[in-house]
Structure formats: C-alpha cells, structure tokens
C-alpha cells in the first residue's frame, strides 16, 4: 500500500527477539535502534476507477526494547523527497507530487521459540499535491488513517547463517479524507499486512535484515463522498540494527 500504513508490517520486530536472544540472556534488557531504507511501489485509487501509481524511496528509523519474552517497538518512515507521478481519474489531472508518512507502535509477546503475537497502534498519511503546471497548483488531497492492529509471526533459524521470519496483521482504522471540494470527511478503514524477513548478524551486536512487505487497505463509509478508496504498498526494505 500505499498502505496506510505505512507501515513495516509495521516495523514489527517479530523474529528480532529470538535472533538477539541467541547472543544475550533474556533476563537482561536489550535496546536495539534500527535504520532502514525502503523502495515502495504504491497504488492509490478512488472508487476502483484509477488514481496514482508509482514508486517512493523512503527512509525510516526506530528503536526496540526487549525484556524476557516481551518487546516494545516504535518506528517511523517517510520519503524525504516527493515522488512525481501521473494521475488517472482523480480530482487533479496531469502530474502530481505524492508523499507518504507512517508511524507505528507495537507491543509483542513470544509464546515460544518460534511463535510470537503482537498488538499496536499505527498512523499513516498519504498526500497528493498538484504541481505548478496544473490549474490547481499547490492544492492537496490527503488521506489519513490511524488505529489499532493485531497479528502474529513465526521465526526459523537457517543453520548458523541467520533467521527467516514471517508475520501477518489486521488493522482497524479511523480515516480522514480532505480535498479542495469537500474539505474534511471522516470514514473507516480495514486492512492487512504481510511481511517476510531475512535477518543475519554482521558482528555480535550488529545485524542486517532484508524484508518484503505488503500492505492492503480499503477506506469506506465516508460521510460526504460515495467512493471508496484503496491503497496498496509493496515494500522492499534493507535495514541495519545494533543491540546495546
């Protein structure tokens, strides 16, 4: 998606608990800052009749705190430069700038050495801005979603090379849509996120990971517009994490 989510699925550290615990005792508290780069292919459409489709280069950062079988994770991600894209059947015609911002907070629990569950809160905002060559130059369409998600994941070691993990989540969000004709309207959103991650150590405390993340969200029940809005984001992410 343009998931609204921006979300990792959503910056979740499923698999992080166990890969780190291979090197540290669970009775200690571990603090793990993370930085990552994402190439995100997105699609934003209104009423299934077209919209914006393109790619975003995003940067993100976060921190995970791990204690025994529990972890707390917070992370944010956004594209530092707007993505210039063509539109189709949107309020704005011609070329637009597209921006995406995400923030997630999640709390997880390891059921055993292979399975964990998590709950959390996420915020995501997509912004479409008409470029100077448009008759609506500077005008914006924005879509915001925030709410809770719940999910589960599993992790498996691959010899002594590293770990592969999988996670899935479902989100229930409140949404806000705004453009130059209807101003601000409220609605609801539901969505799913799927993530596959490879994580391996570079040194005893430094790790890299490569993730493939898919977000699918649908925004409905707006109080002033009839069309539903859908967002999809497929992300390829490369991250570095250091355990203190």
> pLDDT grade, residue 184 (50/70/90)?
confident
**pLDDT value of residue 141:** 86
- Block residue for tokens 């799913």: 192
> pLDDT grade, residue 8 (50/70/90)?
very low
CA distances from 51 to 34, 93, 108, 119, 187 (A): 33, 10, 36, 32, 19
**pLDDT value of residue 34:** 96
Provide the CATH topology of domain 16-242.
Lipocalin (2.40.128)
Q: Closest Cα to residue 90, out of 215, 201, 192, 177? A: 177
Convert 78-96 to b/e letters by CB count within 10 Å (16 or more is b): bbeebbebebeebbbeeeb
**pLDDT value of residue 40:** 94
What are the residue ranges spanned by the domains of the chain? 16-242
> pLDDT grade, residue 13 (50/70/90)?
very low
Measure the CA–CA gap between 232 and 147, rounded to whole angstroms: 17
Cα angle 168, 173, 177 (rounded to 5 degrees) comes to: 130
Q: Closest Cα to residue 177, out of 224, 130, 123? A: 224
> How much is the pTM?
0.83
Q: Is the pLDDT of residue 192 over 70?
A: yes
pLDDT, one tens digit per residue, over 78-121 is: 998 888 777 765 666 667 888 999 999 999 999 988 899 999 99
């Amino acid at each position: 998606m343009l998931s609204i989510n921006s979300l990792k699925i959503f910056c979740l550290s499923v698999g992080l608990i166990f890969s780190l615990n291979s090197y540290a005792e669970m009775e200690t508290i571990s603090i793990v800052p993370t930085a990552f780069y994402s190439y995100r292919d997105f699609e934003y459409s209104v009423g299934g009749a077209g919209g914006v489709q393109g790619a975003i280069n995003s940067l993100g950062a976060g921190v995970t705190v791990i204690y025994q079988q529990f972890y707390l994770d917070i992370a944010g991600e956004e594209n530092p430069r707007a993505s210039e894209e063509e539109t189709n059947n949107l309020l704005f015609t011609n070329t637009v700038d597209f921006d995406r911002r995400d923030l997630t907070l999640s709390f997880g629990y390891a059921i055993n050495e292979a399975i964990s569950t998590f709950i959390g809160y996420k915020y995501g905002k997509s912004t479409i801005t008409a470029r100077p060559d448009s008759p609506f130059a500077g005008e914006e369409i924005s879509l915001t979603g925030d709410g809770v998600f719940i999910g589960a994941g599993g992790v498996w070691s691959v010899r002594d090379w590293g770990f592969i993990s999988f996670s899935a989540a479902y989100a229930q969000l409140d949404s806000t849509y705004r453009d130059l004709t209807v101003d601000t309207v409220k609605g609801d959103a539901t969505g799913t996120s799927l993530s596959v991650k490879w994580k391996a150590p570079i040194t005893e405390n430094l790790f890299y990971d490569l993730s493939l993340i898919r977000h699918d969200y649908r925004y409905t029940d707006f109080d002033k517009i009839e069309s539903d809005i859908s967002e999809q984001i497929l992300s390829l992410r490369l991250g570095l994490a250091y355990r203190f």
